[in-house]
Structure formats: C-alpha cells, structure tokens
Amino acid sequence: MDTPTRSTVDLTDQLLAEVAQFIDLLPSAFDRAIRAVPRHLFLPPLVWLRDGNGGHRPCDRATAPDEWLSAAYSDAPLVTQFTDGLPTSSASMPSVVLRMLALAGLDRKSARGRVLELGAGTGFNAALLCQLCGDQAVTTVELDPTLAAEAERNLKAVGHAPKVVRGDARAGWSAGAPYERVIATFSVDRVPSAWLEQTERGGHIVTPWHSAWCSGYGTLVLTTTPDGGGEGRFHSFASFMPMRGPSTATPSDDGRADEAEQVTSSALSPWAVAGGDLNAEFHVGLTVPGACYAWDASGEHAPTRLDVADDTGPSWATVDYDGHHADRFTVTQAGPRRLWDEISAAYDRWEELGRPSVDGYGLTADTAGAQQVWVEGVDGTRRAASYI
C-alpha cells in the first residue's frame, strides 16, 4: 500500500476551513473535538464517493491512499456500506454533523447531561459526543451488529469507551433513560414514542426527516414538554439515510390498480413539485403521505414523464410533457386515490400559505401518539399542515 503524502493535521485544517463556510464562528469546543477525533480512523479501507452522475464510485485506501485520505477529510458524505446494491451506511458530512450537535445545544459549556445517539455507524459522531460530554454520558445504539462492533473498535482506538448497544434504535435504550438529548443519525417520518418517553422534560430530540416524496431533507429539533409530549421546529438542512428496522418487510406485488384509468389535463408543471424546489417538495411530502415519484425520460411513453405511485397501495398517476406545451400536461390516474389531484391540492395549499420554507414548519406531539405538523405564517399564526 502506498503512503499518503499529506498530513492529517493539514487536512484537518482544510476540513475546518470548509466547515466554516456553513457554520459561522465555529465553537471552540467543536474545533477541539474535530482535531481530537481523526476522521480517517473511523472509515473502512473501502469507501464510495459520489460520481457526479447520481451514483457512487469506489475509493480504496490500498490503491489510492491520497485520494482516500483527502476524501476522509472532505466535507462530504462517504458511503461506507452497500447491501444488495444499495447504500445502507455512510459517514455524514462533518458540517452537517456539527450543525446537528449545535441544534442539540452541545456547543454550550453547560451541556453535560446524558446523551443517547441513535445509529452508531462508524462511531465518529459518538467520539465527538464523548469529547463534548464525556464517555460516561454517552450511549449509542446500532442495529447492525457488524457496524456496532466496528464502531466499538474505532472508539477504543482513539481512547473512548461510551456504552455501545446492539439493538433497534426505534426503541431507544430505556436502561439509560432519561436523557437530556437524543440525537438520531438517520431520518424518520415520525418521532418514535420511545424517544419522547426516554427524553427528560425540557430535553431535546434532534432527528433528520424524510417522506416518501422528499427523501432526507430537513432536521427536526423537538423539545419535550411537561406532559410528556413535544414541540419543535424543522431546519432546512441535512440528508440522511432512513431508519432501518430489524427486518425489511416485502411490499405487496399486486401491481398497479387495474380499475379504469382517468385521463385529464393539468396546468401544474411536474417540475414545480418534483424538480428540485425542496421547500415545495417538503410540503408535498408532509401532506400527501405515501406518494413517491420517478422521472422517465426514455421517450417510450412521452418525451418526459413523471411517474407517481402510492408506496402503501395500488394507486398511481403519470404526468406527461409532450415536448412542446409547458402550460398543460396530460395526467392519467388510477386506483382508490387520485394522487395527482392530492399533489395539486397540496401545491395550491403551499402557495396559499405563502410558499413557506422548511424552517417555517414545526411539529407538536401529544402523549396519545398524535403528531401534527404545522406551518407558521408571517403574522405568527400557526396553521395545520398535516397529521402523521
């Protein structure tokens, strides 16, 4: 194996300079933590980098040591595990990691309470938590036994020994409760009740968010209330893999709904709701549960088609652009849900609300398990966005 030519000290300086573009006045405690936790020691010899075309390419430390080490100290996500051809674990962008720690209040000197991390991954985030709060205050839960063992080895190698639990993060870890802070390193589409129950009153839950429509965008910071519920707001950053359970259910293979298709037209452009406006997509994801999409540019059916499906049932819709008219699109729908009608209504509602950004949304959870997403208008009035 070739030897890297750049020092980790120089690379850490470079990384902190990149992070500073996203975090003004990086707290000194975070600076010290990053310098004390060498990121490359928490990465496997083989990682996968984004290839610029929506996929990933391998980067092997044995054959490309300089590229591997530079990647280790870049402010970029690195895939560390593939399962059945899909990425199932990654090392998150350091700037995103630090922003989440700041949202949890760990940039304050008074932050010394117990912390529960959900999703140990490689152990890097747990090591930062140990630096900030002390080893005895940190518990990390990891579903994958291989990753849990790897995280434990990596943490030991840099002199840290938090409690590493092999288990389903959805259930938290009641043995160490209550926690002052609960931090998830994967995204959810609702807050598990166990997390609320295990967080002390006035404590914070920080978790990335996803929906079927808008995968992995937005971070929720929830503060637990005296009655055992919670209330908080979303923040417009983060992209994380969704939470995995101990087993993956096989979706029904009933195919698309075979009832009569309804063909209409729509003035709503498919690009308005699936073309990269993350604020609009976030709203659609919250208010049209189960709806997901894929673009089809093969030309087999239309010059450009947006395929829409219900990930919980047989309903579907297609929205076709004929290559000439951008003011009217052919819509075909079938199934018990009229998905494009729901999406159009959601988009109209988003415009009616003033096209709010992700930061305008919040969530209230009650002790009965109901969770309501709301949006705050410019006048401070809260209006319900959806129930999840």
For residue range 130-151, what is the model confidence (pLDDT) as tens digits?
A: 999 999 999 999 999 999 999 9
Is residue 92 annotated as a catalytic residue, yes or no?
Answer: yes
334-362: average pLDDT = 95
pLDDT digits (tens, 9 = 90+) for 6-20: 789 999 999 999 999
pLDDT digits (tens, 9 = 90+) for 121-130: 999 999 999 9
Q: Are 351 and 275 in contact (CB under 8 A)?
A: no
For residue 106, what pLDDT band results from cuts at 50, 70 and 90?
A: very high
Q: Are 12 and 73 in contact (CB under 8 A)?
A: yes
For residue 4, what pLDDT band results from cuts at 50, 70 and 90?
A: low
The residue annotated as part of the active site, out of 74, 89, 90, 92, is: 92
Per DSSP, helices labelled H in 26-113 are 28-36, 65-72, 94-103
Instruction: Tell me how far apart the alpha carbons of residues 101 and 33 are, in angstroms, rounded to a whole number.
Output: 12
pLDDT of the residue at 272: 98
For residue 246, what pLDDT band results from cuts at 50, 70 and 90?
A: very low
CA atoms within 13 A on the CB side of 210: 16
pLDDT digits (tens, 9 = 90+) for 266-289: 999 999 999 999 999 999 999 999
| pLDDT > 90 in the chain, percent | 76
pLDDT digits (tens, 9 = 90+) for 160-173: 999 999 999 999 99
User: Pick from 46, 49, 65: which is nearest to 57 by CA?
Assistant: 49
Strands of 230-235's sheet, edge to edge?
163-166, 138-142, 115-118, 179-184, 199-208, 219-224, 230-235, 361-365, 371-376, 382-387
pLDDT digits (tens, 9 = 90+) for 173-184: 999 999 999 999
| pLDDT > 70 in the chain, percent | 92
pLDDT of the residue at 252: 41
* 38 φ/ψ angles, rounded to the nearest 5 degrees: -60, 115
Domains and CATH numbers, the chain: 8-235 (3.40.50.150), 262-352 (3.30.310)
Class of residue 332 by CB neighbours under 10 A (exposed 0-12, middle 13-18, buried 19+) = middle
Task: For the chain, give the number of residues.
Answer: 388
* Helix (H) / strand (E) containing 261: none
Per DSSP, helices labelled H in 37-93 are 65-72
pLDDT digits (tens, 9 = 90+) for 65-96: 999 999 999 999 899 988 877 787 888 899 99
Strand partners, 47: 59
Residue 253 has pLDDT above 80, yes or no: no
Which residue would you say has higher pLDDT here, 100 or 25? 100
Alpha-carbon distances of 323 from 193, 263, 326, 330, 332, rounded to whole Å: 48, 18, 8, 12, 17
